[in-house]
Amino acid sequence: MTQTRRFPIFVFLFFFWGTDVQSKTFTIGNGDVKALIEAIVEASKNDDEDIIVLAKNGLYELKSSYGSVKDGANDKGGIGLPTIKGSLVIRGNGATISRLTSAGKFRIFYTATNAKITIENLTIQNGSSDTEGAGIYQGYDGQITLNSVKFFNNTARGMHGGAVFFKSKNIAKVDKCEFKNNQARDYGGAVSCLLSDLTMTNCIFENNKTTATATSTKHYPEGQGGGLQIDGGRGDNGKLIIRNCKFTNNRARVGGGGIGIFLYNNNSLVVDQCELNQNQITETKDSALGGGISYGSGGRSNKADGYLTNKNTAKAVFSNCTWYANVSSRQSGGIFVGRASTNAVQINNCTFANNESKNGVGGAIENMNGNLEIKNCTFANNISTGTGAAIRNNSSSAKVSVSNTIFSNNKGANNINHYGGPSGTFVDKGNNLYFHATNTGTGGLPSNVKRADPLLENLANNGGSTKTMALKAGSPAIDAGNNCTTTDQRGQARVGKCDIGAFEFVKK
């Protein structure tokens, strides 16, 4: 006789429902740090997307360290709140989480490997770390989304990211965030993004800096990216996008007062509709490169980080941006292009105005050994104590091709005002306009170039995301272009026979 075994119903309930932990929402009262800590601990017990809701405009002051953390064998220092594991959303509602300035040194947030975190509408301030990421340290191979988050007065005394450090293999999305008065010793005064994909939109970087002072013999010396530092994307085909962001008065020692960028293999970079103003490089030696931006690329082989090809085929496009009043104490006040890939660096619809290399060359651009293609740009009033106040090539492999571009009143040494260099190639592809009020010599340019006053207005808000230099009625740049960009720097459609420069004149 066959017997039927009977299981109590609670056994089935265990198998089907007993291990299913539902996501939770934690509402934290104003100032209740203890409840915030407990919520993070509880949320980290499962992989569901739990939600922490802070009090509207509340203040959560961290008066002591929660503990310390290690990344493998590496001590990462103190943390103000428990390590975030799994998936978590923090809705700030305008609240502030702040380290009490008289407390010990500790960062605010630390996330574990593979963590997925979203933070919105929150202020993170006064974080202090002897390593990286004093506001947020985002662990390896995770995802992070920051929406309308403000980072003020965070300090990383170690290498990377005064406010935020993205460790390798992350996917980071940052929108409508503000970074002010943050500092790191070596890389990324506000943000350091290491071998991760980054999409950054509508952000503000002001008064951030790197604090390294010692001159380094390393190939990649300390003190880069006063506002933002990017060291490669996520694997061979990593993608970096910076759009509609403003970088103002940031400082670095040797590379990229506003942004320091280095790409690997087939990484791609888009910098679009950004404004770089009064950023500065402070080093006085030849290593001082790029008051606004320092850019370069190379090959990399590291299977663990997704780098397999070890071929320098990176792509970089700078479009619809304005560099003005950026300064390098040595070379390239606007942007420095160092080691570059087999693909040309494209600079389209950009304005370079009043940038300066104080004791060196390349007031707006210095091209070390890259291939630059410049189209529909405006270079005006840039200054260099050496040659090439607008553009300087600095090696035999350096090449610059220029079309539909205005060069006006740039001032370099020996009357080499617009373009210069000890070697390299300058290609005038046509429809360019050159002018200097007191010098009519060739100044390093081909002898057959067109010379006339472009009749530029001062730099101003003329619509669009960035400041531009409008053309006055009667400018010889009007209707003098050919094969232009489809829109101008502001997004205004080119009309009729297009204009030279970044601004399209439209008759009222």
In a domain, 415, yes or no: yes
Cα–Cα dist 411/404, whole Å: 20
pLDDT over threshold 90, residue 79: yes
Cα–Cα dist 69/79, whole Å: 7
Residue-number span of the structural domain to which 61 is assigned: 23-213+222-471
pLDDT over threshold 90, residue 387: no
Q: Is 12 helix (H, G, I), strand (E, B) or coil?
A: helix
Q: What was the pLDDT predicted at 16? A: 39
DSSP-assigned states of every residue in 295-351: EEEE---BGGGTB-------EEEEES-EEES-EESSB-SSEEE-S--SSPEEEES-E
In a domain, 65, yes or no: yes
In a domain, 502, yes or no: no
pLDDT confidence bin for 424, thresholds 50/70/90? confident
Closest alpha carbon to 337 in 282, 388, 275, 408: 388
Closest alpha carbon to 187 in 165, 214, 219: 165
In a domain, 182, yes or no: yes
Surface-to-core class of residue 70, CB atoms within 10 Å of its CB (0-12 exposed, 13-18 middle, 19+ buried): exposed
Using one digit for the tens of pLDDT, what is the confidence trace for 447-493?
667 889 999 999 999 999 999 999 999 999 999 999 999 999 999 99
Residues in Cβ contact with 485 at an 8 Å cutoff, skipping those fewer than 6 apart: 348, 349, 375, 376, 404, 494
Token readout for 265 is: 């293999």
Q: Is 122 helix (H, G, I), strand (E, B) or coil?
A: strand
- Beta strands 171-175 and 197-201: pairing type? parallel
> Widest CA span of the chain, in angstroms?
113
pTM, rounded to two decimals: 0.93
In a domain, 238, yes or no: yes
Average pLDDT over residues 131-148: 97
Q: Is 9 helix (H, G, I), strand (E, B) or coil?
A: helix
Instruction: Write down the residue that tokens 């106040």 correspond to.
Output: 389
Q: What was the pLDDT predicted at 219? A: 44
- Answer for the pair 190, 182: CB distance below 8 angstroms, yes or no: yes
Count up the domains in the chain and report the number.
1
In a domain, 1, yes or no: no
Mean pLDDT computed over every residue of the chain = 90
Cα–Cα dist 379/377, whole Å: 7
Proportion of the chain above pLDDT 90, given as a percent? 73
Using one digit for the tens of pLDDT, what is the confidence trace for 45-67?
988 999 999 999 999 999 999 99
∠ at Cα 442 (438, 443), nearest 5°? Answer: 75
- 4 vs 333, residue with greater confidence: 333
pLDDT confidence bin for 222, thresholds 50/70/90? confident
In a domain, 497, yes or no: no
CA contacts within 13 A on the Cβ side of 389: 29
Using one digit for the tens of pLDDT, what is the confidence trace for 22-32?
789 999 999 99
In a domain, 479, yes or no: no
Q: What was the pLDDT predicted at 14? A: 38
**Rg for the chain (alpha carbons), in Å?**
26
Instruction: Write down the residue that tokens 């472009």 correspond to.
Output: 454
- The 3-state secondary structure of 189-228 reads CCEEEECCEEEEECCEEECCEECCCCCCCCCCCCCECCCE
Cα–Cα dist 108/501, whole Å: 46
